[in-house]
């Protein structure tokens, strides 16, 4: 764990996340999206591959995207609950 804290980690930026969302959605719906790589990095601190992650301010769905990617990488069984009440949903 100390090695992870003391070493530099490339987890992307909000600008990278914005570009990724623009590629997916075709327009800019979110002002400050978080990079999937950052959330995935943070999730790896929880060594239980069957955890449930709750994102009460889901926004662009980065938490769900991160859980799916991490499960694909290590065959985990993590789950996620996303809550969003933005006006951009019908």
Average pLDDT, the chain: 85
pTM, two decimals, is 0.77
DSSP state string for 59-75: TTTHHHHHHHHHHHHH-
Q: Which residues are 89's β-sheet partners? A: none
* pLDDT tens by residue, 51-67: 999 998 888 889 999 99
Q: Enumerate residue ranges in the chain where pLDDT < 50.
A: none
Task: Give the pLDDT confidence score for residue 90 in this predicted structure.
Answer: 61
Looking up tokens 């938490």 gives 63
Closest-CA residue to 29 (of 68, 53, 55, 62) = 62
């Amino acid at each position: 764990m100390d090695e992870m804290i003391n070493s530099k980690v490339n987890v992307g930026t909000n600008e990278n996340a914005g570009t990724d969302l623009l590629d997916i959605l075709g327009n800019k719906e979110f002002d400050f999206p978080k990079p999937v790589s950052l959330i995935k990095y943070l999730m790896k601190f929880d060594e239980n591959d069957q955890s449930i992650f709750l994102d009460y301010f889901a926004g662009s769905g980065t938490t769900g995207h991160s859980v799916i990617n991490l499960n694909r990488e290590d065959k985990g069984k993590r789950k996620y609950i996303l809550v969003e009440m933005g006006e951009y949903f019908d």
